[in-house]
Structure 1
Amino acid sequence: MHCLLLVGVAVLCLTLPYVHAQPLPDSLPTTVLKTECRDRYFYIWGDKTFFGSLQWQLEAINYTGSIDIMRGPRAAQCGYTLTTDLYGNLEIRISFLGCWVNNTKDIQFDISVQIRVYRGMQSVAYIMDLTCSANRTWDVREIICEENYMEVSVLRLAEDDRIKVQLTAPATRISQTYRVEFLKNLTTILAEDAIKRGYDVNVTLTRVVFRAPYNTPESQVLQVGDYHLDAVLSKMLQKQTLRSLIIDTTIACPSDPPVFQDLALSWVSPALLGPLVTDNVKPCSFAMGINGILLFKNDSEANNYIFDDNIACNVSSIVNVTVPIGAPGGYSESDVVNNTYVTTYRINLLLQRRWLGEFGDDQTTHTQYKPVVTPAIKQRPIFTDYTIKKDRYFNVSLGNFYSDVNLKSFCRPPYSTATGLHRHTDLLHQKLQQYPGLLSDCALLFLPSRQTFLGGIKRRYRLYVTYVMSLVPKEKVFTYSDVVECILEDVVPPTYNGSCGSDSLVLDMKRGNLDMYWLPYIRNLPLTNQLITSQNYLVQNTDAAFHLEVPYPSVGLVYEVTTLSAFLVRLDFTLRDNQTLKVESSYSVRCSFSPQSVCLSNGSMIAFVNGSVTKPKIDARRTHLKDPTCKPLEATETLALFSFSAYTCGTIQKFDSNYLIYENEVMYDQVVLFPNQPIISRDSNYRLTMRCRYPIKDTQWLSAQKEAAPVMMGLGLPSVTKVLRRRARTHMAELRIAKDDAYTSFYHLGDFPVSVQQADSLYLQADVPSTILVSLLQDCWATTFPNHDGHSRWNLVVDGCAANGGADTLSTTIYLSPDYSARLHVKLNGEVNGQVYIHCRVSLCDPKRTDGCFQTCDKTTERVFGKRAISEFSEVVSAGPVKVGSKNEVGYQHLETKSWSTWSWVLSIGLGVIAALTVGAVCLAVRLYIH
């Protein structure tokens, strides 16, 4: 039983490829393969949509039915050129004088070839029988310079000899009487030995054929003026009865590359090729062609080709073929290099020379094929702003691109839901984008962080756009980012009114159309829920108006003038830009209040003494602090005012639990009768204690700009107030990317960039060094740039709540780890592609001191100016880069390229062999054990 099971496994391994392989058709549609007769060669064309993803090889069928595989050096030796056309389709050219061509009197040519296609272990041969006739009379000498070989054929019989052998069958093998002499090293070898060296030597009914691949040992580079030729200098020798036949089979082909300019390419070569001509050359002619077909002069002019066919017949003349880059007849192709859009231009040129020798009847035709590919030309897309202020919408375009460039996505701020993405395409150029988004709606509602108040009634709207383009069918992606701005005079500034209550300063503001996106400050303190609650501020906030009452005394007030009669107190209210914190609007309210003792936020203390309320009354002018030299700043008989620093005038410091207490006393000097005697005085003792309490932990990071405040004691009567204090930064949050949803292992610095696929997930965790603090995610976003304020931005978390934009954007989930570290699960959906960075603004919160650490995302919760109360500490941390990619499609392959299907067969066969050996070994062991 076990043996049968193992045999089944072995059979499954061997048959595995058959499960996935799709059968190949027995015959091909007429649109897949096309054949044609052109000048001196057979032409075969194959559609890339069929052949591009398969392995294939070309096989010539010889006279006995055997197969000769044409590839590499063998194809060059036999006159076969295997290439592709400008668009990537299969293209095969076979010389009429090539191997295995049935030549009938140098007039009719027949050949049988087959293209064998492989898919896995399947193979199908598609046979083609081709017949062509010479479309013109053969010249005495004809030379062809192909992509992979040079060929010359020369007339070997005089006119009367042709008549005698007119009915003779063509030669199929080169005669032993033929030898080849190479002039480079003055060696003469048998024709059969030349064939063994990679040359092809053959004779037809009327012609001698010599073919040489490029860069053979006997070839050489010759210089003619400023130009170069690839040449093989050779002769064909034949011994005959009473005579010897010597035929010049020298071949020469211009080898200089084209010259590329900004807008055109030029192929320049000598008009006459030195090794092939003598000084006495009769009139010559020149013609250019495209893709193997000669052009008439009017065709060249219509396509803006520059070609002068009126050239002098001498060795100093040159022939110049100039083609504008992008001209018809060629193919422009796009590519991406380091996220830069580049283009190349391909064209297959043809140049034909014809001339007569000195005897007037030895005409030569010289034909050269020249595939040309320009270097990659860097293209900067043209970004155009068509925005018209009165239309009040952005209108932009990006161009120009070739037809193989498609728009993959158009990135704008992820909170924008505006529609209106228009696309315009023509044959070769694309004006790809117009993005209208109403400035009055889109800018205010969708782009709050992209507006800049310029003062007065002007504001600037700024739209950050990123085009994500893809190449077809290469599936390469590149991006282009730009900014479009529009300045409008449409700002309605807020208006203010201030008043004084009995014990408060009152500010009323009528809203404009921009202040909803500014942050309110009292002096340098953000007006947060925490500040409002702790200082008993009264705030009423609507879409139309804002009302604020600040009680006296409290944090945030400025004491301009302090006198015995009154304190002049100022409330400074400002609105600041939510990105730069620049003050955009301000207003101050001034009120006068009765004096009282106050602890100021700058560490100063103000003590007020009223001697008329004591029994008996005291003379306030005789009061002082613990340091007797600290006298009143101002005093009358009944009132005294002291103003001093908490570190002077004998002030002592005490620690009480979590508070630092500054304490001083106001003392009264008694009048005594006899200083050196026991005290005799009518004055009673007077002592007024002044205490200010500051929390010891009331320290803050410089970047936080959110404060907890101290408690003030004045004249022994408690009054709640707070001050702003800062300290140097000692802690740092960190954003890490986990390798899985268990968060047990994280990527380190050397692991980046981390590669993921679309539809994968990212798992992030915000860590802090303290175990008593909770990390919270205020805002998180993804950008295509390392900077957290990059142009291309996807929101993940907004104001502490997950920002899920739908199936075509990033979706997120927020939760806490068991140790209260904030975690973020990001699902990569839709259009995100390329390299991204994740940024988060992380807040720290002490759950023992704050009730607001664990806030919900209830949309009905009241918020000041539309913002959630920020925790005690916040900073921006980043992680990345993360490379998001998609699966690549299978590319085109030739037979020499090993595809995965081949390796799958090798692997499967290997597994099958191993399984079979294992089966044999196990079965043998079982039998031995039984016996």
Structure 2
Amino acid sequence: MAFVFLLGVALFISVWASAKCDGVPQGVELMECRDRFFVIAVDLSCIGSEPHFEAVDDTGVYPITKQYAAECGYSVNALTVLGHMELRASYFSCHAENKDDKMFTFNFNLVATHDGEEVRYALNKTCSPSLPWSPREVTCEINYMEVSVRSDVACPTGAKRDWDAVVQTAHFSATSDWQVMFQKPEQEPVPMSLSETHRRGYVFQLTDGRLVFRTPYGQPDSFITVVDGIPVEVVHATLFSRQSWVVLLVNMEAACSMHEGSFDESTHMRWQAPEVLNPLVSDLHNTQVNIGVNGKLVEQSVAEERGYIVEKHNNTIQISIPYTAEEGYRKSFVIEDLYQFYIFNLYLEKISVDEDLVETRFRYYRTLSTPLMLCPIFTVNRMDLEQRLFIVYLGDVPEDVELVAIHFNGHEFTVPLNNTSIHMITNIHSNNTHGYTLEVPFDDPVIIHEILREESVMKHKLDIYYTLTILPENEHFNYLASVTALTYVSSPVFDAVCSESGISFKLDHQPFHYLWKISIGSDLLTSELAAQHGYIMSNSSQSLLLHVPLFTHGYQYKNVTLKEYFGTFEILLRDHETSEIQSSTVKTCPFNTTTELIVCSTDGRMTVVADLSPVVSSGVIPARTSLIREHCGPIEADNTRVLFSFPLHTCGSIIKLGKNSVTYKNKISFSKKQTPAISSNNDIDSVTVQCTYPLAGLHRLFSAYRFESDTAGVGCIVHSAHSTDDLQSPTVLQTPVPSTRCNFQDLFKY
């Protein structure tokens, strides 16, 4: 597709900016002298409505209209879509004050309307060309062609092609007044006076050292020729005058490539010009090409670094400019979808010499623009499953587009984000685009979760609704991205901590935890169960906290010594539908053995730590105590305490079978030889220990001396002065779980 000049694009999609400025100092962005012209750049958002320029000289004030600009050497480029307007004035423009072709003074009025009133701002500048003038210079502006030649140039050697008709006509028509002939293919040239050419829109000007000819494009005396497949507009003007017997002829030909440009879909804009613009009248060769932008040439190394490409194919010069080239422009629009186009103000210099080594310098100003193209904004899901994190990148966001808000599954957040768990990083890129990286944890409340039971996975879903705005118009549009992640569902895991008083468990809730039920043994963990067994439980939307005090229901005790013992508590996780055990959390903690202790295990073993302090002062030696069977002594003893551990059916244990329970009872006895001072009826002469089990939970009671029980038994330690048969209310010093107070009346019922 061919390029269109930006003026047409601007008319199609022009938008006036609405920013407020204090005055022209903020509105006039640039007043600068260049090699062959003076430029003024204005920010349209700061100067009011309907801006235009006027040229000022000693003779008056002249509005620079479209036609007047083309005739008098002015180029006004109003890029309203970018909020930018630019005036370029040739050094030979109509109202520039010229001093010896070395100093040029410009006077303009910038006219704008503020609050319904027209306001004028005077803009003045004096410029001196930074480069010496070449013998012949041709300027191809966007709206006119200009030729200037040195007035003292030597006559060329040899005969020029296609000059016979001109010479013959000039010989018979020449007068002392200067006249002009325009040559067109297959037409006889007709002389006309300079006043006639002026009426036709041409300008011929004689300065101190140069002859200047300027013409708008598309004049009746111009013609289009195709050179190497490229259209070229040619105005072949010859200025002549008879001086005595000599006829002076000056070739003022102007020829400019009218190539509209081309582009590919992804990378470059291209523009072409023939190396020799008009082979019929030109003998130029040895061409040198320099490229620039916005009226400034750049060094070849800089051009290469920016990606500008200058190539010669046969007799054609081809210029390639990357879309994202530095000094170019990019503008975004919303027409249902996001579109963009690129603008590049090409500045090209071509230097050629003829057979007489006379240099001709061509300059091209071309504003190239692509058509509207769909803007390829995209998202990439870079999720981190190990960190359970969505990492979503929104890329190729144009530089004039800004993110202002985000909706996560319907939850709106403004930018910058204030959420502590969701993070956003802005990424700036070298191709005039930027991107946004969002990090959202899978466990954030905005995430939607769905359990896929058959696959045993959880689906995490996040719909991101980006709200972006185009600057400076603040036109909003939306972009939707949906990302999902699958994670394997695992059973809940409790954190467990030991303390002096028991074991504490903590579970951080996850959305999928409803797939499991928590139980202590066969009983579901509820607030009622916790209260019944003395657990301390709190359950919030964030976590479950459970403190299990020592000696409450559910503990198992092992490795009991007089110094310490180990208590183990287990929490079971069951399938919500089948109640089958899926996993468990088991925590074992060491506890100091500071008081008496009795453990009735499920495998039929009684472990007892008894305190004999009351009888030690009477001469009892703890290490010499025994159970009913005297050979069953303590496995460990110190100065006041003893530790016994024995199977229930050994050491002379007495078994009493009740209606609903069975009790195994034994006694820690002191030898009378050890206790000569014991005589009072209130003195303790033995310690009774016993374990009681419910019959419903027993699997084997007497078979081959094997014992199996579903639950631990209830233990009692009773210090007595006489036979335990006479005791009515024994003292329970300490019992393991379940925490049921020992009552002889219940334990020994038959």
Q: TM-score higher than 0.5 here?
A: yes
Q: CA distance change for structure 1 residues 91 and 415 in 2, over 3 Å: closer, same or farther? A: closer
Aligned to 1:183: 183
Work out whether residues 462 and 486 of structure 1, in 8 Å CA contact, stay in contact via their aligned partners in 2: yes
* Residues 1:145 and 2:140 are matched in the alignment: yes
1:269 is the counterpart of 2:268? no
Distance (Å, rounded) in 2 between the aligned partners of 1:369 and 1:323: 14
CA distance in 2, matches of 1:543, 1:104: 89
Secondary structure in 2 matching 1:192? helix
Instruction: Tell me the residue number matched to 2:70.
Output: 76
Could you tell me which runs of 5 or more consecutive residues in structure 2 were left unpaired when the two chains were aligned.
1-18, 156-174, 414-418, 493-508, 516-538, 542-574, 580-750
Secondary structure of the residue aligned to 2:389 is coil
Residue 484 of structure 1: how far off its partner (Å) = 0.9
In the alignment, what sits opposite 1:32? 28
Change (3 A) 1:453 1:272: same
- Which of the residues 347, 351, 370 maps onto 1:350? 347
Give the conservation status (yes or no) of the 8 Å contact 1:156–1:247. no
Q: 1:169-318 residue pairs with structure 2 within 5 A?
A: 177-184=177-184, 185=187, 186-261=189-264, 262-274=266-278, 278-279=282-283, 281=284, 283-308=286-311, 316-318=314-316
Whether the 8 Å CA contact 1:24–1:119 is kept in 2: the answer is no
2:121 & 2:63 partners in 1: Cα distance? 14
TM-score by length of 2: 0.56
Give how far 1:406 is off.
0.6
Name the amino acid aligned to 2:424.
H
* Aligned match for 2:356, one of 355, 359, 362: 359
Deviation at 1:387, TM superposition (A): 1.9
Retained in 2: the 8 A contact 1:143–1:365? yes
Q: Pairwise mapping of residues 304-703 of structure 1 onto structure 2 (< 5 A)?
A: 304-308=307-311, 316-339=314-337, 341-360=338-357, 362-414=358-410, 420-426=422-428, 428-436=432-440, 438-440=441-443, 442=445, 446-447=446-447, 451-490=450-489, 514=512
C-alpha distance in 2 between matches for 1:248 and 1:416: 71
1:42 aligns with 2:38: yes
3-state secondary structure, aligned to 1:193: helix
AA aligned to 1:302 is E
CA shift, 1:121, in A, is: 3.4
The residue aligned with 1:668 is none
Pairwise CA distance, 1:68: 0.5
Q: Is the 8 A contact 1:353 1:365 kept in 2?
A: yes
C-alpha deviation, 1:454, in angstroms:
4.3
Could you tell which deviates more after superposition, 295-304 or 267-276?
267-276
2:609 aligned partner:
none
* 2:197 match: secondary structure: helix
Quote how far apart the aligned CAs of 1:458 are: 1.5
| Alpha-carbon distance, 1:98 to partner | 0.9
* Aligned match of 1:670: none
- Offset at residue 187 of structure 1 (A): 3.3
Matched residue, 2:743: none
**Greater relative contact order: 1 or 2 (C-alpha under 8 angstroms, separation 6 or more)?**
1
What SS does the corresponding residue of 1:100 show, helix, strand or coil? coil
Cα distance, 1:129 vs. partner? 2.8
Matching residue's letter, 1:181: M
Return the index of the structure with the highest Cα Rg: 2
Q: Is the CA contact (8 Å cut-off) linking 2:109 and 2:123 kept in structure 1?
A: yes
Letter of the structure 2 residue corresponding to residue 373 of structure 1: S
Tell me how far apart the structure 2 counterparts of residues 256 and 77 of structure 1 sit (CA, whole Å).
22
Q: Deviations over 1:705-736 (max 9, x none)?
A: xxxxxxxxxxxxxxxxxxxxxxxxxxxxxxxx
Alpha-carbon distance in structure 2 between the residues aligned to 1:512 and 1:62: 81
Distance 1:220 1:363 in 2: 25
Q: Would the aligned equivalents of 1:55 and 1:119 in 2 still touch at CA under 8 Å? A: no
2 CA distance for matches of 1:470 and 1:441? 27
Change in CA separation of 1:342 and 1:513 when aligned onto 2, cut-off 3 Å:
closer
Distance 2:138 2:280 in 1: 10
- CA displacement at 1:72 relative to structure 2: 0.6
Structure 1: how far apart are the matches of 2:387 and 2:29? 55
CA distance in 1, matches of 2:65, 2:87: 11
RMSD: 3.6
Does structure 2 retain, via aligned residues, the 8 Å contact 1:176–1:191? no
The one-letter code sitting in structure 2 at the alignment partner of 1:471 is I
Equivalent-residue separation in structure 1 for 2:41 and 2:444 (angstroms): 57
Correspondence 1:764-843 to 2 at 5 A: none
Secondary structure of residue in 1 paired with 2:349 = strand
Query: SS where residue 222 of structure 1 aligns?
Result: strand
Shift of the alpha carbon at 1:211?
A: 1.0
What is the distance in 2 between the residues matched to 1:158 and 1:384?
Answer: 66
The alpha-carbon deviation at position 58 of structure 1 amounts to 0.8
Aligned equivalents of 1:242, 1:296: Cα separation in 2: 49
Q: d(CA) in 1 for partners of 2:149 and 2:399?
A: 46
Calculate percent identity across the aligned residue pairs: 25
CA shift in 2, pair 1:416/1:41, >3 Å: closer
- Kindly provide the amino acid, as one letter, of the partner of residue 379 in structure 2: F
1:722-741 equivalences under 5 Å are none
Write the deviation string for residues 473-492 of structure 1: whole angstroms up to 9, x where unpaired.
13233322121111122266
Residue in structure 2 matched with residue 650 of structure 1 by the alignment? none
Q: Is the 8 A contact 2:276 2:285 kept in 1?
A: no
Q: Contact conserved, 1:60 with 1:113, CA < 8 A, in 2? A: yes
Q: Is the 8 A contact 1:408 1:469 kept in 2?
A: yes
Q: Deviations over 1:634-668 (max 9, x none)?
A: xxxxxxxxxxxxxxxxxxxxxxxxxxxxxxxxxxx
Aligned residue type for 1:345: Y
Q: Give the C-alpha shift of residue 179 in structure 1.
A: 2.6
Question: 1:402-429: CA deviations, max 9, x gaps?
Answer: 2211112212223589752524142633
Q: CA deviation at 1:400?
A: 2.1
SS at the partner of 1:365? strand
- After superposition, the C-alpha distances for 1:145-182 in whole angstroms (9 at most, x for unaligned) are 0111111112334589xxxxxxxxxxxxxx99233222
Aligned CA distance change for structure 1 residues 275 and 212 (closer, same or farther; 3 Å): farther
Deviation string, structure 1 residues 113-170 (Cα, Å, up to 9, x no partner): 211222133233222332222333322221100111111112334589xxxxxxxxxx
Q: Tell me the amino acid that sits aligned with residue 194 of structure 1.
A: T
Residue 365 of structure 1 aligns with an amino acid whose one-letter code is R
TM-score (norm. length: structure 1): 0.45
Question: How many Å apart are 1:513 and its aligned residue?
Answer: 5.8
SS in structure 2 at match of 1:134:
coil
Give the secondary-structure state (helix, strand or coil) at the position aligned to 1:195: helix
